[in-house]
Chains A and B, each alone.
Chain A
Amino acid sequence: MANVGTDRVKRGMAEMQKGGVIMDVVNAEQAKIAEEAGAVAVMALERVPSDIRAAGGVARMADPTIVEEVMNAVSIPVMAKARIGHIVEARVLESMGVDYIDESEVLTPADEIYHLNKKDYTVPFVCGCRDLGEAARRIGEGASMLRTKGEPGTGNIVEAVRHMREVQAQVRKLVTMSSDEIMTFAKELGAPFEVLVDIKENGRLPVVNFAAGGVATPADAALMMQLGADGVFVGSGIFKSDEPAKFAKAIVEATTHFDDYELIAKVSKGIGTAMKGIEISTIAPEQRMQDRGW
């Protein structure tokens, strides 16, 4: 009776992460801090995005030793990143039993034209998006979860806000359209028609959409939840802050109670300084990670 890797099983896994925080970690010790703080999953990688940005060069899938170390350290799900279009990195991570793969623009793309055909895999995928066209293309390829791209490793929430608002606004527009307008909208967005029809019929995206790319404080996390995110990824924001354990706990609480401002004030006290942020306009266009992927 066992049917593995169905849409329901893959998308359902992401549904169970809703309202939670997924944290980037680079070793077992950080993974344990994240689990202890109440993370719903961890993303195992070699360097957090701000270090990738600082180091330059080519960013690849993490060393399997690190991924394995993290998988052995915690009982919550473990995600890992593969380069856009890198079939073998994705297959290697799948063979290791990673619970979710992020086909991520944080790493240097392996293919400048094609993303992975994610329907081929048993393991589910999460992908970044900046607007509904990108979201629908990824869903069409078989992504089981979405996240805003934001601008990773900056600690600046402005791009994640832009992307979340854009996706939400376009979903609202689609839902109010008459059926005969959808094909032209699909053409404008470069989106698969069937995915748009499905969104219109159900009134929402068929997969969960988390916020990512610039979340640095508990208030940032709560802001993204208010804008309609189903949950939050925090990359550099936790382990580049002064006191990661406290920051991690505070961000988890602010995500759960995103509309309880007294509580957010309380949890934001005495947790030290957030990571140093980067103003987006100071990043050269070719170094903007959000423009990777298509």
Chain B
Amino acid sequence: MTKIGVLGLQGAIREHVQSIEASGAEAIVIKKKEQLDEIDGLVLPGGESTTMRRLMNQYDFVTPLQQFGKQGKPIFGTCAGLILLAKEIVGQEESHLGLMDIKVERNAFGRQRESFEGKLKIKGIADDFEAVFIRAPYIVEIGQQVEELATNQGKCVAAREGHYLCSAFHPELTGDHRLMQYFVSMVKESKKHLAS
């Protein structure tokens, strides 16, 4: 069975586990870097990106996560996870994992009182996806290899670059598993490809 990890340092871990299981894959909560060897794909959940980064530093997670991605194994980042994946962050000198060729702005839609939900069109995945944005970032610039999958108020809020996928909203907070199913199929394809 396809095994997908959820980085379990902090944030909406349980919701992603449920979503992965509902999408027909096995979910594993990753708290130690050694566990990365067991999985075919990884979800970086929503939460607080600064907190996750502190804990990633503490447990030497940064390099193993970068290697995981560079092996060609798929990674899906939601909200804080998107920030962790980005190569560039507005107003910060350093990025975190820097795996995806995107420039992001944190809390770009505003503070909590500006947080919102609504229907979203995601290219090739859904016309009416229920998207929940919480103190959400958006993508300011994308690299040439990056495909924009969704926009809200003219801002890029979901994208794919090869085996990397990201969303500024929280698919795990709704019962809508279509984006996770899309990621699970990305992981299945990469598993076949890496095995051959």
A-side residues, CB < 8 A to B, are 1-6, 8-9, 12-13, 15-20, 35-41, 75-77, 94, 97, 99-100, 122-124, 252-253, 256-257
Contact = CB atoms under 8 A, between A and B. Distances in A.
Given A16-B80, A20-B10, A40-B10, A9 B115 contact: yes
A47 to B, nearest CB: 24
B51 A6 contact: no
Interface string B133-146: 11100000000000
Interface in B110-157: 111-120, 132-135, 152-153
B51 A40 contact: yes
B79 interface: yes
Contacts, number: 117
A19 B58 contact: no
Contacts of B62: none
B132 A122 contact: no
Contacts of A5: 113
B170 A19 contact: no
B134 to A, nearest CB: 5
Nearest to B54: A38
7 contacts: A5-B113, A9-B133, A16-B79, A20-B47, A38-B51, A77-B111, A256-B9
B113 A19 contact: no
A66 B1 CA distance: 53
A253 B12 contact: no
B10 A8 contact: no
Contacts of A19: 8-11, 13, 47
Interface string B10-29: 11111100000000000000
Given A16-B48, A19-B10, A38 B55 contact: yes
A11 to B, nearest CB: 8
A99 B112 contact: yes
A13 B134 contact: yes
B135 A13 contact: yes
B48 A20 contact: yes
A97 B107 CA distance: 13
B77 interface: no
A99 B135 CA distance: 9
Given A8-B173, A8-B174, A9-B116, A257 B31 contact: yes
B41 interface: no
A9 B134 contact: yes
Given A13-B135, A16-B134, A97-B113, 13 more contacts: A2-B118, A4-B115, A5-B113, A6-B116, A8-B117, A9-B117, A9-B133, A9-B134, A13-B115, A15-B173, A19-B9, A76-B51, A77-B112
B113 A94 contact: yes
Contacts of A124: 112
Contacts of A15: 12, 15, 46, 173
B106 interface: yes
